[in-house]
Structure 1
Amino acid sequence: MSKIAGQTETVVKASWLPLIVVVLTQIQASFAVNALTVSMQGITTDLNTPATSVGTAITAGTFAMAAFILLGAKVGAKFGSRRVFQIAVVIHGAAMAAVALSATPAMLFIAQAASGAVIALIAPALVVFIAANFHGQQQAKAIGYLAAAIPAAGVLALLIAGTFASTIGWRYSFALIVVLAVINLLLSFKLKPVAPQKDVKIDWVGALVAAASVILLSFGFSGLNTWGVVLATDAAPFNVLGISPAPILIVLGIIGGQFFFSWLRRRKAQGKPQIFDLDVLRTGSEKATTICMAAMLFVGTAANFLIPLYIQIVQGRSSLETSFAIIPYTLSIFIASTVVATLYKRFPPRQIARVGFVVVALGLILLAFTIRNEWEQFFVIVGLITLGLGQGAIVALVFNTLLSAAPKTLAGDVGAWRGLVHNISGSIGIALASVFAVGILSSMVVTGIAGNATLTDDLKSQVDLNSINFVTNDHLKDVLSTTTATPEQVDAAVALNEEARLRALKISLLALASIAVLAIIPAGRMPNYRPGDLPAELSSGRPASEEELEVADHEDDLDATGHHPFPTPSGTNAA
């Protein structure tokens, strides 16, 4: 019950069934990727293929999803989100069956690419289901659970896929996903249909430009470490006058992105359909929210790369042990994603975001100053939990803020934008974290060797110092065993390697903390009011103008009467 202007309005809560379908489907999609990672050893042995082939399959799925997600949103809107969702769930289930039955690496690659392409149809539909079925506080909670489903899928993959891979076989994990797809398909028939927008016309030029730009950016950033940041390495597929293809692809991707947004603005000015509706980003606060989303996903994904790197390389633990070690971090993301909605009535988004980024920075700083060689030490665990709480809260907050600011008809575009930002920011986060950490490591190793009298020039000439990377002590000893290194020199090199890689990781974590601190600036441009439900539409049903929304963002939280200046679509004040 809520009081508005002397009246009492009854708020009827919707059934949680749509949320169950949304969460289970998100788990279906996320579990598939995590299961591939956990099952890597079994797949490589069974299919007689190197681990890089599994990594290629994972990358293929991710790139396919990112490239076609904007198109997926429009296809869902045109033909009906529920119908498209059901078809996509069936195809995804079939793709997972193909993974389970894979006899060759090529079959695995094709199946995973197909699954990524249909997730481009599923992801926007999940957001549409939330917008169509839930409102106000219930909608905020639903978004929190959707965000929490991703780390939950990671934990489930660890427990289930890890157990299957070490007992009955890795293929059963993907057979389980097929069963989950059948369950989601059956449950989806109980959802109320979302009417198709038959007048939607698909901008194929915009779709192709977006896909090409995403693919160029993804391959460019992914190849930085392997192909070379500037000059091409021997691993580069080609070079242009000795220049690595990675920066060339990145530049082309950026140019393509600029052309894409220019194309959208031109189409909008001409009144023609666009593949992505720029009304999702029509105000400064919405653009700032996107920047915050990208910053958090960049930092979070980079941390997800550096933490396992620390455990496996510095400590020499197995992949399964690493997965168990980061459970506190994963669970804290899950918890924060689900409970942050309880803060929405008390604090505006910009305040929650600012505090969230401070918490993330504190978690990273605590990790940077406490990691040693004992992962179980108390302050390292506290740092992980702190990082996870801030990360989970911000990811759920920024998504809910974008969805709340857009009319329901743009829910699919919001979902597509979320998926696009998630994948691009994640790819860039891993790539740049890797390049930065390896660069710091190389600099420290070269400096350390130059100042170490035990490591002679003769020994230096026998080691390739141009390809320094994070390696275990055992691997380094194997490399030195092929040289004339004495036991004293081996011990000195191992000690130098231990110190350099630990300091490189610490500095990398501090760099991520700096990005989190800088993100407080765009967080201050997020909305300064807590809308009750989709405030971009006024009570009259017309969209609020950009000027009205900008004024709302800069107004004090309440006016003199104790109410927000702009009503929500239901006609209630958002106080």
Structure 2
Amino acid sequence: MAPSETTTDPVSTSVDMTHPQIMKALSGLMLGMFVAILSSTIVSNALPQIISDLGGTQSSYTWVVTAALLSMTAATPLWGKLSDLFSKKLLVQISLVIYVLGSVVAGMSQNTGTLIACRVVQGIGVGGLSALAQIVMAAMISPRERGRYSGYLGAVFAVATVGGPLLGGVITDTDWLGWRWCFYVGAPFAIIALIVLQKTLRLPVVRRDVKVDWLGAFLISAAVSLLLIWVTQAGDSYEWISWQTWAMTGGSVVLGLLFVLVESRASDPIIPLRLFRNKTITLASTASLFVGIAMFSGTVFFSQFFQLARGESPTMSGILTIPMIAGLFVSSTVSGQVITKTGRWKAWLVSGGVLLTAGMGLLGTLRHDTPYWHIAVYMAVTGLGLGMMMQNLVLATQNQVAPEDLGAASSVVTFFRSLGGAMGVSALGAVMAHRVTHYVQDGLTALGPKAAAMGHSGTAGGGIPDLDKLPAPIREVIESAYGHGVGDVFLYAAPFALLGLVLVVFIKEVALKSKPSVHTPAAASDAAPPAGTAKIGDIADAAVKA
């Protein structure tokens, strides 16, 4: 039986929100996104030190990143579906609380197992924030105007992305703080974000009698988890061609098929399969998968490159990645402003795909002694490409769906981007561990029998190396191995960026709508203002009905 829709407190007035009103309504949301991204990126330059202190390996390093991406991937469609049923503001606040709690407990970790478990909790929270940020904007702003505000969101993303590693590096390099404060520092900002959200964000709530598709959520999570475990362990714990490989990949395929079966019969599926009948949604979602591989491989492996291949401090490692973030900042804001003025978006997607593919290919030439100005140019090109593609793939999708599918469709694109990131980091992390081991063995063999007897110290089979404690010849071998290994990672990622470019070429450009993507019937507001007062919430509630 189709879900019924009930509403209260109808708002009959229709007015347009001004730019200042929209910015005020979105202020808490952007602050929440800033906190989540900051808390995520702040550990990137601290990870080599964290894994070393906790006695972890290259596999642990990869899983600390992958665990958050995995739970984020699995949770994103569920958050999107819940946003179609319940208060979006409440869901944003809940996801922010979950993320901060995971961060605080992560700071108390005494081993990599606990840290990885806490990262799973963090990922659930950030999955909500990532999906809900786009959904809330779509509920308030028309697609034609949304490019402008997506650019602002991209700018927040860029600032938090560059600020996180810098702050994390400073904290890690400060003796009286230490890396644990990388997890604690976001808590005060999160409290402020919660207060601002409560006061500024007011959206309609559509209440329907539904049954949340928990079985579908479990099956997609299990299928993705099994696949990622296989990718991470293959070539290390067992051979790529082995019974474990057949068991895990086969199990993942079976779970995936069961997921499709359940979704096709569910009254309110977590991912409505009918969405994929739309060519644009299918192409944009698949392109997001490949963009995710490129995006997360860049943010994850640069810290290892600068610290382990070039001997830089965590602080300096953050500073050296600024060109990529600057490129992302510029392209996301500029493309958003121009799209709002012209209504044309496909050229930006195609240009972004070209730049991203070129940037990843150039980064594939990295070695430990590559001149920094070369690296800076390569990073800037990659950042420009990412900024043009990330937000605009979501925009193209949102412009194609009915209001009742807005949350699900938005989260599908985010889901595939997160899935690409999780699979990419897992697979590329395994590739890097293998390549670094190979290069270290070759380098040590060249130094003589005594050095060769050290084996693959400091790579997948050992721990993350402490360069300061190594003799000069051994240190040079390790630096060269990590430099070449990271270059190989980007070279392997470049073809996926090219596939993303090919897919966006086939996306048909559809004129952007001039109305926000919300239900026409009036709905209950998240919080009713006192009678007789005209607040931003009144304007927002009325405007989203327009």
For the criterion TM > 0.5, the same-fold answer is yes
2:394 alignment partner, one of 391, 395, 399: 399
CA contact (8 A) 2:367 2:480 kept: no
- Could you tell me how far apart the structure 2 residues matched to 1:255 and 1:12 are? 51
Quote the Cα distance in structure 2 between the aligned partners of 1:201 and 1:417.
Answer: 19
CA distances 1:445-500 after superposition (whole Å, capped 9, x unpaired): 88999xx9x788x779846589987999x989999x9xxxxxxxx97x99888777
What is aligned with 2:91?
84
For structure 1, the 5+ residue unaligned runs are 1-8, 232-242, 482-489, 541-568
Q: Distance in 2 between matches of 1:438 and 1:506?
A: 13
What SS does the corresponding residue of 2:205 show, helix, strand or coil?
A: coil
The letter of the residue matching 1:413 is: A
Matched to 2:500, the amino acid is A
- How far 1:394 moved relative to its partner? 0.9
**CA, structure 1 residues 305+97, in 2 after alignment: closer, same or farther (shift >3 Å)?**
closer
Q: Which moved more, 1:149-158 or 1:386-395?
A: 149-158
State whether structure 2 residue 506 is matched by structure 1 residue 525: yes
**Is 1:364 paired with 2:360?**
yes
Cα 1:21–1:100 shift into 2, 3 Å: same
Q: What's the CA shift for 1:247? A: 6.2
Give the Cα–Cα distance (whole angstroms) in 1 for the partners of residues 289 and 492 of structure 2.
16
Q: Equivalences for 1:166-181 in 2 at 5 Å?
A: 166-167=173-174, 168-169=176-177, 170-181=179-190
Q: 1:263 and 2:262 equivalent?
A: yes
Structure 1 residue corresponding to 2:428, chosen from 433, 438, 449: 433
Instruction: Return the alpha-carbon distance in structure 1 between the equivalents of residues 433 and 114 of structure 2.
Output: 34
Partner Cα distance (1:110, 1:33) in 2: 15
DSSP-derived class of the 1:78 partner: coil
Matched-pair contact (CA < 8 Å) for 1:221–1:250? no
Question: 2-side partners of 1:257 and 1:212: how far apart?
Answer: 9
- CA distance 1:28–1:359, change in 2 (3 Å): same
Structure 1 residues 246 and 122 mapped into 2: Cα distance closer, same or farther (>3 Å)?
farther
Q: Report what 2:312 is aligned to.
A: 317
Q: Contact between 2:147 and 2:336, CA under 8 Å: does it hold in 1? A: yes
Moved more, 105-114 or 137-146: 105-114
The answer as to 2:248 corresponding to 1:249 is yes
Unmatched 5+ stretches in structure 2: 1-14, 522-543
Identity of aligned residues (%): 18
1:330 to 325, 344, 362: 325
Shift of 1:425: 0.7
Q: Report SS of the residue matched to 1:227.
A: coil
Residue 311 of structure 1 contacts residue 322 of structure 1 at CA under 8 Å; is this kept in 2?
A: yes
- Counterpart mapping for 1:62-73 below 5 A: 62-73=69-80
Q: What residue in structure 1 maps to residue 369 of structure 2?
A: 373
Task: Report the residue type matching 1:329 in the other structure.
Answer: M
- CA RMSD between the two structures: 4.3
1:202 aligns with 2:239: no
Pick aligned residue for 2:286 from 291, 294, 307 = 291
Equivalent in the alignment of 2:228 = 218
| Letter in structure 2 aligned against 1:74 | K
For 1:496 and 1:157, locate their aligned partners in 2 and report how far apart those are by CA, in whole Å: 30
- Deviation string, structure 1 residues 266-290 (Cα, Å, up to 9, x no partner): 44xxxx2212223443312221111
Aligned with 1:301 (options 296, 302, 312) = 296
CA–CA separation in structure 2 for the residues paired with 1:101 and 1:431: 25
CA contact 1:349–1:527 (8 Å) conserved in 2: no
Match for 1:514: what amino acid?
P
Aligned pairs for 1:271-286 within 5 A: 272-286=267-281
Tell whether the 8 Å contact from 2:293 to 2:420 is kept in structure 1 after alignment: yes
AA matched with 2:417: H
Choose the corresponding residue for 1:26, options 13, 33, 46. 33
TM-score by length of 1: 0.73
Query: Is the CA contact (8 Å cut-off) linking 1:284 and 1:525 kept in structure 2?
Result: no
The corresponding residue for 1:353 is 349
Larger Rg belongs to: 1
Cα 1:126–1:324 change in 2 (3 A) is: same
Q: Residue 185 in 1 paired to residue 194 in 2?
A: yes
Alpha-carbon separation, structure 2, partners of 1:141 and 1:200: 34
- Pick the aligned partner of 2:142 from 135, 144, 148: 135
Query: Residue type matched to 1:342 in 2?
Result: Q
